[in-house]
Amino acid sequence: MRLLSGIDTAMPDVRKKWNYHARWNQSERLWAEDFRQLADCGFDLLRWQTPWSLVEPHKGELHWELIDPKVELAAKLGMEIFYPIVHFNMPSWLAGRGVRHGVYAPDLADHVAEYTEQLLTRYKFRLVIPIVEVQMEAFQRGRLGNWQPHAKSLTAYRLMYRNLVKAFRQSSAIARSHGAKVFCSEPASEVQTVIDLGDAVDIAGIDLYPHMHRKHSIAEYLRLWWRRAGKPLCLSEFGTPETYNPSTRVDHYDKFVTAGIDLHRIQQCRELHKALETVTAEGIPIPYGGWYPGTGNIGWGMSLTRERPTADCDRAGVVDLTRQTDGSLTRVLCKDLVTEVLKLRDIGVRQPDTFTTVPVWLPTAAAVPTLHSGD
């Protein structure tokens, strides 16, 4: 198994503001430290992106300087970037002419495809996710109403879902034309979305969180996805917060846990290892997987609608965050958890690397001036 981790950079629009996760966990500022820390742990595949609305705040105004240095550093560190093209974020300019939000835009698929073309022409990413959690994007925006346009109807959800599926498929076609391998990244409960995406998916990425997805065991979810989707699997997201006890299956969500304490996560990782050994022995191909996130999350327990300042972070990553008196977040590595996670790469057949340590892109133009749904 090729081992991956990641830094969550989702940026949904909530009411009249952007809730940028990389700003909350301060990776926006400390990204180089975070990249180096994960590389030093032994990860060579990093799921990371810059939100689309930051890269292209106005149609055709592309701020490659937000991505260039990250790609350069990752290459120097021997890490390949696994790039989510759209992750709970769409530029405001997609709306207009009677369209309330970009997720409704009739030309959304064309714009996502065009952005995919621009990204892959410049960076030559080999592993991409056109849209992270198609189902959850529509669910949060159209059914729960947590994110703009804050709709709460089955009709809105279905309209958004269909539009996102179409956009995923068009982006996938462009990515493949550049030789990229296309992953989905869908909640464990939503294998139907993988089926709906159909032949636009090469690797079925399952976002499996045992504290949230309780209907089946880890092994049972993997078997279900293999049986129904019929595609090689990737643990695109897997992890549990330290507040979750795998033995009792109880999550003491509001309990404060000191940064670096990782006993429950270690136990969960060992259970994952056992499940992966079992299902790969049965013939289920799982060429990619790991622990997500790398650098800790803040506020995902509340769907990024607000931070958790009194809890520091969700204590779900391999790196915890602890808030200092000046508001800064110190990184605390969970060393024993990392040791357990690294053992996962010995499971199954190692997926060959698809890149070299030499940067895979060359600037084609001068940089622009700095200007889960349940079970």
The 10s digit of each residue's pLDDT in 203-258 is 999 999 999 999 999 999 999 999 999 999 999 999 999 999 999 999 998 888 99
- What is the chain's Cα-based Rg? 19
Q: pLDDT for 260-276, tens place per residue? A: 999 999 999 999 999 99
Cα–Cα dist 358/20, whole Å = 30
Cα–Cα dist 30/36, whole Å = 10
Q: Hey, CA dihedral for 373, 172, 78, 340, is it positive or negative?
A: positive
pTM, to two decimals: 0.93
Question: Is the pLDDT at 374 greater than 80, yes or no?
Answer: no
How far is the CA of 159 from the CAs of 32, 101, 150, 174, in angstroms?
39, 12, 14, 23
Query: What contacts 355, CB < 8 A, 6 or more positions away?
Result: 75, 80, 126
User: Residue 81: which pLDDT band, with cuts at 50, 70 and 90?
Assistant: very high
Q: pLDDT for 22-80, tens place per residue? A: 999 999 999 999 999 999 999 999 999 999 999 999 999 999 999 999 999 999 999 99
Question: Is the pLDDT at 190 greater than 50, yes or no?
Answer: yes
Q: What pLDDT is attached to residue 358?
A: 41
Question: Is the pLDDT at 354 greater than 80, yes or no?
Answer: no
Q: What is the DSSP string of 57-76?
A: SBTTB--GGGTHHHHHHHHH
Q: Are 259 and 315 in contact (CB under 8 A)?
A: yes
Phi, psi for 175 (deg, rounded to 5): -60, -45
Q: What pLDDT is attached to residue 106?
A: 97
User: Residue 365: which pLDDT band, with cuts at 50, 70 and 90?
Assistant: very low
- At 252, list the tokens: 């003491």
Phi, psi for 147 (deg, rounded to 5): -115, 160
Homologous superfamily of domain range 2-346: Glycosidases (3.20.20.80)
Task: Compute the C-alpha angle 239/243/88, nearest 5°.
Answer: 45
Query: Which has more pLDDT, 302 or 182?
Result: 182
Cα–Cα dist 8/183, whole Å = 17
Question: Is the pLDDT at 196 greater than 60, yes or no?
Answer: yes
What is the number of other CB atoms lying within 10 angstroms of the CB of residue 138? 24
Give the SS3 label for residue 188.
Answer: coil
